[in-house]
């Protein structure tokens, strides 16, 4: 490999890192908002079930390790494909990319359109949008809000670096809003079906169920029904009663947990709210 080739690969890795880091920071910043929305479905907040930033990061450790193991070979594959495409075109691919970057209006327009499209997740939180409406929003917002600022930023090296950070940050925010949307839908599914999905498990939501017993005589409470343990904090268990669709709190000193089970299997067609429907007049 020539010195020029090595510099090209290192330059590509540097560019990828300058975008990936802002994406990761923005995505993690919005993750906790998504966690708040999960527990809001059950009428509590993360602090009431003992989930703070440290607990969330600890629960997500295995997921982060798996993501890292997947991201490293994907990054290597992406760099390898870029090098191969440049070799197959005898440098034409690299020259095309450099040419686009040297044309400030084209580079600014592409970045502006992309940033406009990142607002898709945010707008989807307020209503279901079809593809045509989203394209109109992305193009309009990108041209009106981002095109001229990005064009002005490209006049200096520090401005171009700032553009990368801004594009990466907005990309992470857009992915974060999509994540929030998916987490809320997953929490509603848990509330209705009593079963978590893979997305909720990936962000540290514990699908943990137990039979609640009295600490005095160790007899089952609530007719021995399985209760979902949302968490505990300040000496209090926070439980979700799938049968009555209610969130309950019980002092830990008067409560024993028996027959604890993670990710229980449900029969086909199982739904929560059986007792709630019976009590409805």
Domain-embedded: residue 17: yes
Q: How far apart are CA 122 and CA 113, in angstroms?
A: 16
How many structural domains does the chain have? Answer: 2
Q: How far apart are CA 37 and CA 31, in angstroms?
A: 10
Look up residue 185 and give its two tokens. 């839908």
Tell me: do 103 and 226 sit in the same domain. no
Which residue in 36, 52, 56 sits closest to 187, CA to CA? 36
Let me know: does 225 contact 243? Beta carbons within 8 Å: yes
Q: How far apart are CA 34 and CA 16, in angstroms?
A: 26
Let me know: does 75 contact 17? Beta carbons within 8 Å: no
**Which of 140, 164, 193 corresponds to the end of one domain?**
193
Domain-embedded: residue 236: yes
Q: What is the pLDDT of residues 16-68, one digit of tens each?
A: 667 778 888 888 888 888 999 999 999 999 999 998 888 888 888 888 888 88
**Which of 193, 227, 249 corresponds to the end of one domain?**
193
- The terminus-to-terminus CA distance of the chain in angstroms comes to 78
The pLDDT value recorded for residue 162 is 83
Tell me: do 118 and 8 sit in the same domain. yes
Tell me: do 87 and 214 sit in the same domain. no
Tell me: do 261 and 150 sit in the same domain. no
Domain-embedded: residue 183: yes
Tell me: do 42 and 156 sit in the same domain. yes
| Position 4 pLDDT exceeds 70 | no
Residues 6+ apart with CB under 8 A from 22: 164, 165, 166, 167, 168, 169, 171, 172
Domain-embedded: residue 198: no
The pLDDT value recorded for residue 9 is 56
Beta bridge partners of 151: none
**Which helix (DSSP H) or strand (DSSP E) does residue 256 occupy?**
strand 255-262
Domain-embedded: residue 38: yes
Which residue in 153, 161, 137, 145 sits closest to 112, CA to CA? 145
Domain-embedded: residue 200: no
| Position 251 pLDDT exceeds 80 | yes
Domain-embedded: residue 240: yes
Which residue in 243, 190, 172, 181 sits closest to 26, CA to CA? 172
Tell me: do 213 and 173 sit in the same domain. no
Range of the domain at 11: 3-193
Half-sphere exposure of 280 (CA within 13 A, CB side): 8
pTM of the model as a whole: 0.79
Strand order in the sheet with 226-233: 246-251, 236-241, 226-233, 208-214, 255-262
Tell me: do 11 and 141 sit in the same domain. yes
Tell me: do 231 and 133 sit in the same domain. no
Reported confidence tier of residue 268, pLDDT bands at 50, 70, 90: confident
Which residue in 226, 235, 220 sits closest to 270, CA to CA? 226
């Amino acid at each position: 490999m020539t010195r020029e080739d090595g510099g090209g690969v290192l330059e590509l890795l540097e560019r990828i890192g300058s975008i990936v880091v802002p994406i990761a920071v923005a995505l993690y910043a919005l993750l906790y908002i998504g966690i708040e929305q999960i527990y809001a479905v059950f009428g509590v907040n993360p602090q009431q079930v003992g989930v703070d930033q440290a607990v969330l990061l600890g629960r997500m450790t295995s997921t982060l390790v798996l993501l890292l193991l997947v991201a490293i070979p994907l990054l290597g594959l992406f760099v390898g494909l870029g090098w191969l495409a440049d070799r197959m075109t005898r440098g034409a691919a690299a020259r095309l990319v450099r040419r686009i970057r040297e044309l400030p209006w084209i580079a600014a327009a592409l970045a502006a359109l992309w940033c406009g499209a990142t607002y898709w997740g945010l707008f989807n939180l307020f209503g279901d949008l079809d593809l045509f409406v989203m394209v109109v929003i992305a193009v309009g917002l990108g041209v009106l809000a981002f095109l001229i600022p990005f064009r002005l930023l490209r006049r200096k090296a520090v401005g171009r670096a700032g553009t990368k950070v801004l594009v990466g940050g907005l990309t992470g925010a857009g992915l974060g809003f999509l994540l929030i949307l998916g987490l809320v839908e997953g929490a509603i599914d848990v509330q209705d079906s009593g079963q978590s999905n893979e997305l909720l498990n990936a962000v540290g939501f514990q699908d943990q169920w137990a039979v609640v017993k009295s600490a005095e005589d160790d007899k089952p409470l609530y007719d021995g029904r399985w209760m979902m343990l949302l968490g505990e904090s300040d000496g209090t268990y926070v439980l979700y009663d799938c049968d009555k669709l209610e969130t309950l709190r019980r002092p830990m000193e008067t409560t024993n947990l028996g027959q604890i089970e993670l990710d229980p299997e449900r029969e086909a067609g199982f739904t929560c709210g059986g007792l709630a429907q019976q009590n409805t007049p």
